[in-house]
Amino acid sequence: MKTRLNKKIIHLIQDLWMVFTEELKRVFRDPGVVLIFFVAGLGYPLVYNFIYWNDTLTDVPVAVVDLSCSPESRRFLHLWEATPDIAITHVCTSMAEAEDLMRRQKVHGILFIPEDFDDNLATISGQSHVSLYADMSSFLYMKATYMSANMVMLDEMHRVQIDRYQRMGMGPETAWALVQGAPYEEVGLFCPSGGYSSFLVPAMLIMILHQTLFFGIGMLAGTAREENETLYFLPGSRRRSVFRLIFGRAVAYLVLYLAIAAIDVLLIPKLFHLPHVGNPWDIMRLMVPFLLAAIFFSMTVSLFVRNRETGMVTLVATTLIIFFISGVSWPQASLPEAWKWTSYLIPATWGIHGFLHINTMGCTLLEAAKEYYALWILAGGYFVTASIGLWISGLIHERKKKQEAITE
């Protein structure tokens, strides 16, 4: 009995080793897969970081239309230009002139000050208005112009209110207390620079790992079907063979991607000064179920890939959707229920949130337990679906071979 058990264990290890080495050979024999796994998996994080090297925009060119030409309007414009975000490059006499500059992309914002700006401020209860027109061709242009103008407006509003209270006979301390009853200090949590790179790139690192795995495994499956390769079932029970095949292939991908993931999620944030306050050990522990879930998810989807090009079509069609419903570029709470539940089935959703919680927010793995356990559940579920799918594909493959043999 003991000898038989030892033989089974030895055969299991031999089978897993054979599948593991065969899958590694398939990966390295395919230049396209090598390009996706290694060049894209390691190169895309560098490309994205170099694209967003300037975390925030400064000196965005803007135009002003000052019809007031008063000391108050000039003060407002002086304070606005003193912010690091914008640079007043054009002073126009009409909105038509400013709009023409915007259309020609000479400026990315227009500030309009009406004629009665100073007159309204001189009264006790009058209100003055300024209008800001932002270039929405880029979120960063809008953010730079809007945020800087908003900060100046708030400061000037407080100054005008204090001045009016003092004209009503109040002392400076009383007037200030009425304007700002509860002093506050603004602190940008988890993204102190307020930059686009610090917000976007950490999530993109996980998406790159997920999608390159998805594409590479799909390419391998499509190539195998194009070349009519057998599914290389092992001798013995077909059911046992399927599990060994799936697990052996998964370990091959996992070994490769643990090294790639270590570079992407540990080294890249430090090189480019992205948020990286989490424990590296906790991050890598999270990567294990994430990569396994992504691998088994890709294997399940690859069962429907019939040629090599299908993987590219699927990658292009799904990447933006997956990133959007993951809750990074758009809050999950605002998604329709159907898309929200769909996002829960995608490993990238849980991987992105778990990574952001640990890496960017400084949580421990225990505090990110929801994402951690969800990834293990997805890994187990997709392992089962991939195994069942491959077993059914094997039955269909053998049935076709028998029919072809009878026909001949």
| Residues 60-110: tens digit of each pLDDT | 999 999 988 888 888 888 988 888 888 999 999 899 999 999 999 999 999
What does the pLDDT look like over 339-395, one tens digit per residue?
Answer: 999 999 999 999 999 999 999 888 999 999 999 999 999 999 999 999 888 888 777
Could you give the C-alpha distances from 294 to 202, 297, 380, in angstroms and in order? Answer: 18, 5, 11
Q: What is the Cα–Cα distance from 344 to 202, expressed in whole angstroms? A: 19
The DSSP 8-state label assigned to residue 274 in this structure reads -
Using the 8-state DSSP alphabet, how is residue 84 labeled? T
Q: Which of 18-32, 118-132, 316-330 has the lowest mean pLDDT?
A: 118-132
pLDDT tens digit string along 41-58? 999 998 888 877 777 778
Alpha carbon distance 225, 227 (integer Å): 5
Dihedral angle over CA of 27, 32, 34, 37, nearest 10: -100
- Structural domains in the chain plus CATH codes: 18-52+193-407 (no CATH), 60-179 (3.40.1710.10)
Q: Which of 153-157, 248-252, 307-311, 382-386 has the lowest mean pLDDT?
A: 307-311
Question: So what's the pLDDT on residue 154?
Answer: 80
CB 326 within 8 A of CB 346: yes
The full DSSP string for 314-328 is HHHHHHHHHHHHTTS
If you search the block for the tokens 């952001």, which residue do you land on?
356
Q: Decide: residue 176, CB within 10 A, 0-12 exposed, 13-18 middle, 19+ buried.
A: middle
> Does the pLDDT of residue 241 top 80, yes or no?
no
Q: Which helix (H) or strand (E) holds 389?
A: helix 369-407
